[in-house]
Amino acid sequence: MTSQEILNVVKLLLEYLVPTLKVFGFTLLFSVPLGMVVALLKMCKFKPISYLTNIYILIMRGTPLMLQVIVAFYAVPMLKNGEGTPQFIVNLLNNIDIKDENYMFNAVLVAFVLNYAAYFAEIFRGGIESIPKGQYEAAAALSMTRTQTFFKIILPQVVKRVVPASANEVITLVKDTSLANVVAYAEITLKAKQQMQLYSSLVPLFIAGAFYFVLATVLTIVFSYVEKKLDYYK
Amino acid sequence: MAMLEVKNLRKCFGDLEVLKDISFNVEKGEVVAIIGPSGSGKSTLLRCINQLEKASDGKISVCGMDMLEDNPKGSGVVYADARLLRDIRLKIGLVFQNFNLFPHFSVLRNITEAPMIVLKKSKEEAEKTAIELLKKMGLEAKADSYPCELSGGQQQRVSIARALALSPEILFFDEPTSALDPELTGEILKVIRKLADDGMTMVIVTHEMAFARDVADKVIFMENGVIVEEGAPEQLFGNDATERTKQFLQRFSQG
């Protein structure tokens, strides 16, 4: 490849960095709060809820994200036309326009959010359960309500404890966005693959790799800064 | 009127009866020391009074407010409604063996947080009280430190200040010096003695026999979930004590 061609590929991939970051950003935005809710549901004392939540987590963590993306993408059209789909589901699905320009992104996002929420939930649950019982008792002895105890005493300590494990997930997420190419969502990996075929060269793939590498490195630096910031107490 | 009334209190963990028919009173300004071997139910008793454990049977009232009573229709107990339980809890302060300070808050915020979010005091007011309490504890220089930067004895003094910030009528101590080495134990005992001199009503579970003898108006000796003996320190630590009390104290002084 000539240097002009390489420059063109870099420019093209830079353009498709936007859809990559869109999947990354929106997945984080929704999966972190959802993960917290799922963690609390799993710790729910009412057993059926905890049990169902656990099944959800098992499925999300036990099957490949790529498969989940494919299912999310094809589920709507398949179920709409499938025989034996209950009428109320068909009615519900008829509200979804698969020709909409955002349909592909939304389907990808649903799969990513549901998958990552399961991972975050397990991290958050571990964090919440690692807070000593004495913290709850001290708050109770000071007449704090359960809500006050959770938001003022427990959650801030959980945040500090889950940052390292969450950093891992977030860095993995940057690279996992490439899985969206399986349903032809136009992001860096898909474009790099096309350019590889166009030029019969591996260079576009290496450029894509460099993009992910830079993103992951930036995140690593950000998270180590956050960890330091939170290190004002033991 | 008694500040604290415990009547026929029973607590079971499954089949294990940890407290069997405990009854005692604490009067205003009284300092009560509860002593006894490990596993005798002292801490469980404190935890039942502080609503950290649910009692199985009996009656507890604090400052004339009934916290729980025997169920008139059969077995078990009925607790007061949530609002009354909260009012009762506000009359009571608890100091833990392991301090249980909030590690993410500064010393000052550890003390001001509950008055601000529970009693809805203004920040200025809460901080003013907190600084006064810290002065009393000899820790005014540590207001901006974090708990992890303090010694065990300093942490325990902060936790006493934290409990006092809600102006409780009775202060409970659950083995306040058990996690401290002898040198630091002294500074906590000094603080408790000062509170006693100020007329604070206190119930102290302790293994510090000399201290119990010195500071307490009344000593309760517990074993296997029952009160073996209860009386003035002169009685329990004197020659008139029951055989069992003598035996325990003797073994204790031998280490």
In chain B, residues with a C-beta closer than 8 Å to the C-beta of A232 are 146
Averaged pLDDT, B239-246: 86
For tokens 């940890």, the residue is B18
B19 has which bridge partners?
Answer: B11
Averaged pLDDT, B239-248: 87
pLDDT digits (tens, 9 = 90+) for A18-64: 999 999 999 999 999 999 999 999 999 999 999 999 999 999 999 99
Per-residue exposure over A11-31, b if at least 16 CB sit within 10 Å of its own CB, e if not: ebbeebbebbebbbebbbebb
As a whole number of angstroms, the distance between CA A232 and CA B9 comes to 45
In the prediction, which pLDDT does B254 show? Answer: 66
Residue A157 CA to its chain's centroid (Å): 23
In the prediction, which pLDDT does A84 show? Answer: 80
In this model, does residue B101 exceed pLDDT 90? Answer: yes
Name the residue facing B104 among A140, A148, A233 (closest C-beta): A233
Q: Which amino acid, residue B24?
A: F
Q: What angle do CA B216, B222, B224 make, to 5 degrees?
A: 165
In the prediction, which pLDDT does A80 show? Answer: 84
Q: What angle do CA A50, A51, A54 make, to 5 degrees?
A: 85
In this model, does residue B255 exceed pLDDT 70? Answer: no
Could you tell me where the beta strands, DSSP code E, fall in A1-141? none
In the prediction, which pLDDT does A127 show? Answer: 96
Provide the residue range defining the domain that includes A31: 3-232
Name the residue facing B117 among A135, A152, A156 (closest C-beta): A152
As a whole number of angstroms, the distance between CA B75 and CA B86 comes to 24
The share of chain A scoring above pLDDT 70, in percent, equals: 100
Give how far B50 is from chain A: nearest CA, Å. Answer: 7
Q: Which two tokens stand for residue A180?
A: 């969206």
Which alpha helices (H) appear in B50-178, and where do they start and end? Answer: 82-90, 107-117, 123-136, 152-164
Tell me whether residues B90 and A132 touch, CB distance under 8 A.
no
Torsion of CA A216, A220, A225, A229, to 10 degrees: 110
Question: How many distinct structural domains can be found in chain A?
Answer: 1
Name the residue facing B166 among A142, A153, A233 (closest C-beta): A142
As a whole number of angstroms, the distance between CA B200 and CA B171 comes to 8
pLDDT digits (tens, 9 = 90+) for A61-87: 999 999 999 999 999 888 888 778 888
Three-state SS sequence of A153-186? HHHHHHHHHHHHHHHHHHHHHHHHHHHHHHHCCC
DSSP per-residue letters across B13-53: ETTEEEEEEEEEEE-TT-EEEEE--TTSSHHHHHHHHTTSS
Tell me whether residues A141 and B90 touch, CB distance under 8 A.
no
Averaged pLDDT, B30-36: 95
Tell me whether residues A141 and B93 touch, CB distance under 8 A.
yes
Give how far B236 is from chain A: nearest CA, Å. Answer: 31
In chain B, residues with a C-beta closer than 8 Å to the C-beta of A136 are none
Averaged pLDDT, B80-109: 95
**Best CA proximity match to B4, nearest among B91, B98, B114:** B91
Spell out the domain ranges in chain B. Answer: 102-167
**Best CA proximity match to B216, nearest among B230, B227, A3:** B230
Tell me whether residues A144 and B147 touch, CB distance under 8 A.
no
In this model, does residue A97 exceed pLDDT 90? Answer: no
In the prediction, which pLDDT does B71 show? Answer: 83
In this model, does residue B85 exceed pLDDT 60? Answer: yes
In the prediction, which pLDDT does B72 show? Answer: 81
ipTM: 0.93
Give me the total of CB pairs closer than 8 Å, taking one residue from chain A and one from chain B. 58
| CATH number of A208's domain | 1.10.3720.10
In the prediction, which pLDDT does B239 show? Answer: 83
Give how far B114 is from chain A: nearest CA, Å. Answer: 6
In this model, does residue A164 exceed pLDDT 70? Answer: yes
Interface of B with A in 85-114 (CB under 8 A): 86, 89-90, 92-94, 96, 98, 100-104, 113-114
Tell me whether residues B166 and A143 touch, CB distance under 8 A.
yes
Q: Which amino acid, residue B227?
A: I
Given a contact cutoff of 8 angstroms between Cβ atoms, the answer to whether B50 and B67 are in contact is: no
In this model, does residue B156 exceed pLDDT 90? Answer: yes
**Best CA proximity match to B98, nearest among B186, B35, B158:** B158
**What average pLDDT is seen over chain B?**
93
Given a contact cutoff of 8 angstroms between Cβ atoms, the answer to whether A119 and B91 are in contact is: no
Tell me whether residues A137 and B52 touch, CB distance under 8 A.
yes
As a whole number of angstroms, the distance between CA B191 and CA B134 comes to 12
Chain B interface, best mutation among A133, A136, A143, by max B CB count within 10 A: A143
In the prediction, which pLDDT does A94 show? Answer: 83
Lowest mean pLDDT among A152-161, A162-171, B239-248: B239-248
Residue in chain B nearest A136 by alpha carbon: B100
Torsion of CA A180, A186, A187, A190, to 10 degrees: 80
